[in-house]
Amino acid sequence: MGRMRMLILVAAAFVPTVAAAQQPCTTDARQVVDRIYRQILNRPSDGTAASFATQLSRQGATVRDVIDRIVTSDVYARQFVPSGRTANRNGAYDRAVDTLYRKLMNRSPSASDRSYYSRIANEEGFPAAVDEILGSRAYEEQFGDWRVPGTNIAFCGDSRIAANRGSRDRYSDERYRRDNGFTSDDRFRGDSRDDYNRRGSNSYRGSRDTVGTSGRSVVVSAAQPWTDTGIDVRSGDRLLMDASGSAKLSPDANDMAAPNGSTINRLASGAPMKDRPAGALIGRIGNGPAFFVGSQGTIDARANGRLYLAVNDDYFNDNSGEYRVTIDIR
């Protein structure tokens, strides 16, 4: 990252830096929860918000977790979600989904998103649509675990906690296929909606089941672009990967990463996956496109070739640290 920092310093004389434009985070959990209430429930927080503030301050939940619990609560449902006979009518959730999307994404849904999330809500229930939106790449990139939608407020949470809980690995089966270039005909069974329903809603996201692997262990150095795992895969193989460890991405002591990515949520514009956090564990098969792995990844191979893993970065000379990855092929 040394070269990129030099370019930014040169450009600083002409344009404001990104850091200057960003708002600092706050450790005031009550303020953050109040802003969540105003965004989601259209009112200031009350006595019911105390437990949420405690969860944030004690690092027992992320902002995204708190939002999840509020929009799936009876309080939210009574105000915004149809119930009784109304809920059984075809298309009854359409307006509720539109409202939900505006609150979570702070903008109106596109026609395709409206159709997609409404179908999920009507076929699988309103909480399923909540899961899909909060687990989408669009939400991850815009708000992540700690920012309140519709505001410039972010809680100063420990991103390492969110990373260790697998909070970035939240894609639904259909979103996963779409984000990784698979067609709607491909069957992604590793963590499908049916699997989620069998586990129950309490296992969603932070407490989701981990991928159990018993295969080869590979060390991925943060100081080199790609690591040859020595594993050849075939199209149709399912790769299950568990990763742990840490990486330092520059001389800056705060510029750290875990397998799910940068602990300060920054990107690397020249990295193989520039829309994913810097430092995230990524992979590729042969010379194919890079894909996100994170701390727990399930990948259906679409080509034959050697499996390579790497730290998602664009400059490696000042990096240090490593990830230890266990890989199983099924």
Average pLDDT over residues 109-130: 86
Length of the chain: 330
With cut-offs at 50, 70 and 90, classify the pLDDT of residue 87: low
Lowest mean pLDDT among 47-51, 65-69, 86-90: 86-90
Give the pLDDT score at 89.
59
Top pLDDT among 81 and 60 is at 81
Mean local confidence (pLDDT), 292-302: 87
Q: What is the CATH number of domain 210-329?
A: 2.60.120.430
Q: What are 241-282's pLDDT values in tens digits?
A: 888 889 999 999 889 999 988 888 889 999 999 888 999 999
CA distance 151 to 15: 24
Q: Residue 264 corresponds to which tokens in the numbers above?
A: 């300060």
% of the chain exceeding 90 in pLDDT: 32
Q: Give residue for tokens 């080199």.
A: 224
Q: In the predicted model, what is the mean pLDDT of residues 294-323?
A: 91
- Distance, in Å, from the CA atom of 58 to the CA atom of 157, rounded to the nearest integer, reads 9
**pLDDT number for residue 90:** 59
- Can you give the pLDDT at residue 19? 33
Q: Is the pLDDT assigned to residue 15 strictly greater than 70?
A: no
User: Which ranges of the chain does DSSP label H, i.e. alpha helix?
Assistant: 2-11, 18-21, 29-40, 50-57, 63-71, 74-80, 85-88, 94-105, 111-124, 126-134, 137-142, 159-164, 173-179, 193-199
Distance CA 314, CA 52 (A): 38
Q: Which CATH superfamily is domain 20-157 in?
A: Phycobilisome linker domain (1.10.3130.20)
0.75 cut: is pTM over it? Answer: no
The position carrying tokens 């080509």 is: 303
pLDDT of 149 strictly over 90: yes
Which pLDDT score is estimated for 159? 58
Tokens of 164: 């260790």
Q: Do the domains at 20-157 and 210-329 have one common CATH topology?
A: no
> Which uninterrupted H or E stretch holds 299?
strand 296-300
Residue-level pLDDT at 38? 94
Could you tell me the pLDDT band of residue 126, with boundaries at 50, 70 and 90?
Answer: confident
Tokens encoding 39:
């965004």
Compute the average pLDDT of residues 116-140. Answer: 87
pLDDT at 86: 52
Q: Domains of the chain: which residue ranges?
A: 20-157, 210-329
Q: Which burial class, exposed, middle or buried, applies to 159 when counting CB atoms under 10 A from its CB (0-12, 13-18, 19+)?
A: buried
Instruction: Give the three-state DSSP class for 319.
Output: coil
Tell me the average pLDDT across 134-145. 90
Burial class, 195, CB count within 10 angstroms (exposed 0-12 / middle 13-18 / buried 19+): middle
- Tens digits of per-residue pLDDT, 168-183? 344 344 444 344 433 3
